[in-house]
Amino acid sequence: MAAPNEGEYRTKTDDDRSGVTLRIMTETLSLDPVGGIEMCTFEDSLGLAARGHAIDVMYKDDGLLRHRFEGAGVVLKGPVTFDFNVRHPLNGLTRFVGPARWARSRDPDILLISRFEDIYWAAAIATWSRCPIVCQLHHMPNEFRLSRLQHRVAHFVAVSNFMREAWIGAGLDAERVSVIVNALPPGGYPRGGLLERSAARERIGLSEDVNIVLCYGRMLREKGVGTLLKAWAELGLSPDEAQLVLVGSTTLLDDPELAQLFGQLNPASIHLFPMQIDVVPFLHAADVVVFPTWLEEGFGRVVLEGLATGRPVIASRVGAVPEILSGAMTRFLVEPQNSSELRDAIASLLNWRRTEPELELECAQWVEARYSFEDHISAMENVLMRFRRRR
């Protein structure tokens, strides 16, 4: 886990946690690796299960991670709806009855939710199960729901100092919000040198002799895909010099503006791949990773993943991203929606293997020194122990 920044709230440990195992219930919108929240839920669930805790996960949509959840002993229940329309509360509560009954049969010690907007569902589950709620804060506040249902949450866990301050600004008591930054499981995103780069490109079908720039995740306008496409067009590089690889949902082509920008590029210089359960081969194949989001990101997991594999990551100066790209890594930050600045940053790093060969090790060590997965899981475990149901 990253060293605490000034003013970071540190979680106290629970002295009676030794030998205690928990039955933890949690939720996810999808069993596909569609975003950072889904991946954090997946990895935290497996990390807590490895410590001997019983994990139950309710999900809305099935997906590629099912067998890995089940292989770790996690019990899955779905499909379940988390939606609640405050104008038609009876309909929403009716849909929650089945999941609430199942939850009660599982007798959880704690309910861990990853999205505050699921609080209506969580309140129903917690009421029937007689267990407290701990809520992770991955994104900006929803003040309407916060003002009405924050009292149902025993404790909040923000994934960054930026996110903690945003929720305190929206009305949460500072004493009720801990900071536990995200981390990556050991071996999940290994450092890769030239040998791994060559092997990954052969596996994927990418050219061995050109620079590869990678962007992955949700291919949405607000994730800055349009800014990247404009920057790539402005670079004007031939396919023999550099190629752009986009990995994620193909909804990019459903957006008329993005589809138009995509269509204006040389098709030999850009590759679009569907969502992947394992992005490591693409990271190893890449020379530079780009995270051009416009959103006030609660953390910026892509940045951590890219750095861990030894790749420089050019990312927008928004939200909590500067908490990761601080100190010596600050030079990789660019202003959001600024295609010219993004273009120049990409151009300056395309040949880093020749001009700055030490950069691979520096990026990987930056993550190793600041983001320990064992510390992350221990901190989560401590919070869940502190606020569990006392039997």
Residue bearing tokens 């949690």: 26
Q: Classify the C-alpha dihedral 347-353-354-355 as positive or negative.
A: positive
Q: Cβ(320)–Cβ(295) under 8 Å? A: no
Across residues 90-103, what is the average pLDDT? Answer: 86
Q: What is the mean pLDDT of the chain?
A: 91
Q: What is the pLDDT of residue 125?
A: 95
Q: Tokens standing for 268?
A: 């030999």
Domain 23-183+372-386 = CATH 3.30.390.50: no
Q: What is the pLDDT of residue 88?
A: 72
The alpha carbon of 357 is separated from its chain's Cα centroid by a whole number of angstroms, namely 29
> 179 forms bridges with which residues in the sheet?
158
**Which sequence spans correspond to the domains of the chain?**
23-183+372-386, 194-370
Q: What is the pLDDT of residue 250?
A: 67
Higher pLDDT, residue 12 or 342: 342
Does position 134 have pLDDT exceeding 80, yes or no? yes
Helices (H) and strands (E) in the chain, counts: 16, 13
> 156 forms bridges with which residues in the sheet?
135, 177
Calculate ∠ Cα 191-192-198, nearest 5°.
Answer: 170
> 56 forms bridges with which residues in the sheet?
25, 75
DSSP 319: T
CA 336/CA 297 separation, integer angstroms: 12
Q: What is the DSSP pairing of strand 23-30 with strand 110-113? A: parallel
Residue 177 pLDDT level (bands cut at 50, 70, 90): very high
Domains 23-183+372-386 and 194-370 share a fold: yes
Q: What is the DSSP pairing of strand 133-137 with strand 110-113? A: parallel
Q: What is the pLDDT of residue 20?
A: 78
Across residues 175-190, what is the average pLDDT? Answer: 96
Across residues 238-254, what is the average pLDDT? Answer: 88
DSSP 218: -
* First-to-last C-alpha distance (Å) of the chain: 31
pLDDT 10s digits, 281-326: 999 999 999 999 999 999 999 999 999 999 999 999 999 999 999 9
- For residue 324, how many other CB atoms are within 10 A of its CB? 28
Across residues 248-256, what is the average pLDDT? Answer: 79
Q: What is the pLDDT of residue 337?
A: 97
CA 136/CA 114 separation, integer angstroms: 5
Burial of 377 (0-12, 13-18, 19+ CB in 10 A): buried
Omega before residue 312 within 30° of 0, cis: no
CA 28/CA 369 separation, integer angstroms: 30
Q: What is the pLDDT of residue 5?
A: 35
Q: What is the pLDDT of residue 17?
A: 44
**3-state SS class at 77:** strand
Burial of 60 (0-12, 13-18, 19+ CB in 10 A): middle
Does position 12 have pLDDT exceeding 50, yes or no? no
Q: What is the pLDDT of residue 286?
A: 98
Task: Say what the pTM is.
Answer: 0.89
Residue bearing tokens 């701990």: 134
Q: Cβ(204)–Cβ(236) under 8 Å? A: no
Across residues 338-351, what is the average pLDDT? Answer: 97
Give CA separation, 306 vs 104, 190, 213, 231, in Å.
41, 10, 11, 20
Does position 7 have pLDDT exceeding 70, yes or no? no
Q: Classify the C-alpha dihedral 154-159-162-166 as positive or negative.
A: negative
pLDDT 10s digits, 187-242: 999 999 999 999 999 999 999 999 999 999 888 889 999 999 999 999 999 999 99
Q: Cβ(159)–Cβ(300) under 8 Å? A: no
pLDDT 10s digits, 16-63: 445 679 999 999 999 998 888 999 999 999 999 999 999 999 999 999
- For the domain made up of 194-370, give the CATH fold: Rossmann fold (3.40.50)
CA 165/CA 163 separation, integer angstroms: 5
Burial of 316 (0-12, 13-18, 19+ CB in 10 A): buried
